[in-house]
């Protein structure tokens, strides 16, 4: 059984696309806000990998830093503040 590296990388790319799709559906249908934020971070990180595979390392770094990193942290802080307000704390 001879599998070349190009075919293996195409399978990895398809798997990453599947991760993006499942994460996006998870964001849309999940009722728990924390889980939705985590799904969004995973989708952004997977898209960052796809940008890297498309030979755009600058876009991949920006997506990882801003999309998966900073945006996820800001959303988590916003969810925590919202829950504090709802609880009356």
Count the residues in the chain. Answer: 89
The three-class DSSP label of residue 3 is coil
pLDDT per residue as tens digits for the range 43-58: 999 999 999 999 999 9
Mean pLDDT, to the nearest integer, of 10-19? 94
CA distance 40 to 66: 12
* Residue 7 pLDDT level (bands cut at 50, 70, 90): confident
Distances (CA, A) of 33 to 27, 65, 86: 9, 21, 14
Mean pLDDT, to the nearest integer, of 51-71? 94
């Amino acid at each position: 059984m001879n599998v070349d590296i190009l075919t293996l990388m195409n399978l990895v790319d398809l798997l990453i696309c599947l991760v993006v799709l499942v994460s996006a559906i998870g964001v849309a249908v999940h009722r728990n806000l924390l889980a939705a934020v985590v799904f969004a971070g995973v989708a952004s990180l997977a898209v960052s990998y796809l940008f890297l595979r498309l030979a755009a390392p600058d876009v991949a770094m920006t997506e990882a830093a801003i999309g998966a990193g900073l945006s996820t942290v800001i959303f988590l802080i916003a969810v925590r503040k919202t829950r504090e307000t709802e609880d009356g704390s």
